[in-house]
Amino acid sequence: MSMNRREFLQVMAVAAAGGMSLHSEFALAEKGAAKLYDLPKFGNVSLLHITDCHAQLLPIYFREPNVNLGFGDQFGKVPHLVGANLLKHFGFKPNSIEAHAYTYLNFEKAAETYGKVGGFAHLATLVKRMKANRPGALLLDGGDTWQGSGTALWSNAQDMVDACKALGVNVMTLHWESTYGEARVKEIEEKDFAGQIDIVAQNVKTADFGDAVFKPFVMKKMNGVPVAIIGQAFPYTPIANPRWQTPNWSFGIQEENMQKTVDEARAAGAQVVVVLSHNGMDVDLKMASRVKGIDAILGGHTHDGMPAPVAVKNAGGQTLVTNAGSNGKYLGVLDFDVRNGKIADFRYKLLPVFANLLPADKDMQTLIDKARAPYLSKLNEKLAVTEGTLYRRGNFNGTFDQLILDSLMKVKDAEIAFSPGFRWGTSLLPGQPILMEHVLDQTAITYPWTTVTNMSGEMIKTVLEDVCDNLFNPDPYYQQGGDMVRVGGLQWTCDPTGKMGGRIQNMMLKGKPIDPAKTYKVAGWAPVSEEAKNSGAPIWDVVAEYLRDIKTVKPINLNLPTLKGAANNPGMA
């Protein structure tokens, strides 16, 4: 049986009329909502933080991962905790609204009960509410804001630029923004954002002379307290994304320059120094242990919705490290009590944005509706109905990624398929129709071309080893923050604790070992090399073609590697 969401709700409404209590949990949640969002004013410096919304202007469903492994120094540490382990660490009760906000547990039922999350109109209401009793509070945007939806792609990021201005963002840093190209980023900075939003990045320099491309930091006075916001853009933008999109910009972690920038900000009188970072949480934690004088790193990139900060000790004292999740699901609120030029105390809360518990801000909703209007017929094309949950997040595979792999193998007639381990992409519940918009939520990038490559068995191993090292290199500075490339067709074993070259084992295709010398037909998408521009149809067209053909997506079997050394890892459920 396949039922869409509307049909499902109608059936349930009939059941409710028959005396079944449908929304009892939700009613409780609604009562608790006031408590959820009742955050008393604290101190005199307040920073509101959003990150990695990936252009999701409307409320969506988003399933948190059940695989987020950490090894070595990162074993069992934040953010490498999932499900019950995460609840236990942060002290939340199973089946609570918080359990749904921060974990995948009981996802389908809880999503039906509590409804969608995020949405800029609902976020706007929450931002206004926080600002109401926090005079002078700044809204910081950690980046990955302009990419992740059809409307952002088609409007060349304009819908998100306008929405961020309306939301009242003060300072932002970058990652996927750069995939619109250097000229577009600078145009937005110099025209749209002028006088309103500062783009900061201490680690983006010109490739020739090493000149700063953006302001390294901005100083803002809040209730008389000078606060420095230093920007840290995603260090590996020209590696993880196409270098031809930012040919004149050089990135990198630039730890020494970070220290120099912190020292400059302090010398200029900053009493609070905060880094708005797109490093990813493991990189932020390492940086916090090595750079002195940062009070807090407000982080993103790895999409870890962490309810509490990690306090990292270093030679200069202590640095708080937070990570505020993704897809508009959360608003981070960091309050400092600054007395006599020093931070006396702080409070932090990562507020989940439940669309049903926060009324939509009318002005923002109008702006969103207007931005979407020209594209509605394209976005709303119904391609198929899903019988199971579709999601992406997780170290090795997600059902939506499997669907993309299946599409690639079928449409491109390939025996093996690769799909990038992106961490963005929304979720769909059983019975929901798959609209073109949902496919674009997983695929809308500026280099969407599909590829078909004849690859030797040896090359396949090289590719997998290379990506696996980006995820599991024991030194966070060598990690890039995505998940493992998704693999279709090929069975394999992964030992994340192995060394580079030894993590990928037992590669098999249809029961036969992969021959290093033999050639295999491999389909993929999102090529980073300039030569691969326009190599094949955009991935969304390939997936749409597949979905129109099959009409119903049966519950999906994930092609997962056999994992070694991951039993009893608190980052796996």
CA pair distance 291, 103, nearest whole angstrom: 31
Sheet strand arrangement including 382-386: 433-435, 382-386, 552-553
CA pair distance 15, 22, nearest whole angstrom: 8
Q: Of residues 12, 212, 563, 573, which one binds another protein by CB under 8 A?
A: 212
Instruction: Select from 8-16, 187-195, 471-479, 541-549 the region that touches another protein (CB under 8 A).
Output: 471-479
Q: Does 573 bind another protein (CB under 8 A)?
A: no
* Residue indicated by tokens 């206004």: 128
* Residue indicated by tokens 């490498």: 80
Calculate helix-pair angle for 362-372, 120-132, nearest 10 degrees: 150
Instruction: Select from 33-41, 118-126, 162-170, 477-485 the region that touches another protein (CB under 8 A).
Output: 477-485
Instruction: Select from 201-209, 355-363, 372-380, 390-398 the region that touches another protein (CB under 8 A).
Output: 201-209
Q: Does 79 bind another protein (CB under 8 A)?
A: no
Q: Does 194 bind another protein (CB under 8 A)?
A: no
Q: Which is nearer to another protein, 172 or 222 (CB)?
A: 172
Q: Of residues 422, 492, 520, 540, which one binds another protein by CB under 8 A?
A: 422
Answer positive or negative: Cα dihedral of 166, 168, 171, 176.
negative
DSSP 361-385: PHHHHHHHHHHHGGGHHHHT-EEEE
Question: Closest approach of Cβ 28 to another protein, in Å?
Answer: 37
Q: Does 323 bind another protein (CB under 8 A)?
A: no
- Would you give the binding string for another protein spanning residues 239-278, x where CB under 8 A is met? xxx-x------xxxx--x----------------------
Q: Which is nearer to another protein, 294 or 455 (CB)?
A: 455
CA pair distance 398, 571, nearest whole angstrom: 16
Q: Which is nearer to another protein, 43 or 238 (CB)?
A: 238
Q: Does 65 bind another protein (CB under 8 A)?
A: no
Beta strands in 179-329 (DSSP E): 198-199, 205-206, 217-222, 225-232, 249-250, 272-277, 296-299, 310-314, 317-323
Q: Of residues 110, 213, 298, 367, which one binds another protein by CB under 8 A?
A: 213
Q: Which is nearer to another protein, 176 or 400 (CB)?
A: 176
Which DSSP helix (H) or strand (E) runs through 447? none
Asked if residue 322 lies in contact with residue 346, where contact means CB atoms within 8 angstroms, the answer is no
Q: Does 480 bind another protein (CB under 8 A)?
A: yes
Q: Which residues of 263-284 are buried (b: 16+ CB within 10 A; e: fewer)?
A: eebeeeebbbbbbbbbbbbbbb
Q: Which is nearer to another protein, 501 or 516 (CB)?
A: 501
Q: Which is nearer to another protein, 125 or 302 (CB)?
A: 302
| 3-state SS class at 497 | coil
Instruction: Select from 29-37, 188-196, 237-245, 491-499 the region that touches another protein (CB under 8 A).
Output: 237-245
CA pair distance 453, 472, nearest whole angstrom: 26
Q: Which is nearer to another protein, 460 or 542 (CB)?
A: 460
Q: Which residues pair with 384 in a beta bridge?
A: 434
Question: Closest approach of Cβ 368 to another protein, in Å?
Answer: 25
Answer positive or negative: Cα dihedral of 30, 33, 35, 41.
negative
Question: Closest approach of Cβ 250 to another protein, in Å?
Answer: 6
Q: Which is nearer to another protein, 178 or 365 (CB)?
A: 178
The footprint of another protein on residues 290-319 (CB under 8 A) is 301
Q: Which is nearer to another protein, 67 or 357 (CB)?
A: 67
**Count of positions on this chain that bind another protein (CB under 8 A):** 46
Sheet strand arrangement including 486-488: 450-456, 519-525, 416-419, 486-488
Please give the single-letter amino acid code of residue 337: D
The footprint of another protein on residues 519-548 (CB under 8 A) is 526-529
Q: Does 201 bind another protein (CB under 8 A)?
A: no
CA pair distance 302, 281, nearest whole angstrom: 6
Q: Which residues make up the interface to another protein (CB under 8 A)?
A: 144, 175-176, 206, 208-209, 211-213, 234-236, 238-241, 243, 250-253, 256, 301, 420-424, 462-463, 466-467, 469-470, 473, 477-478, 480-482, 485, 500, 526-529
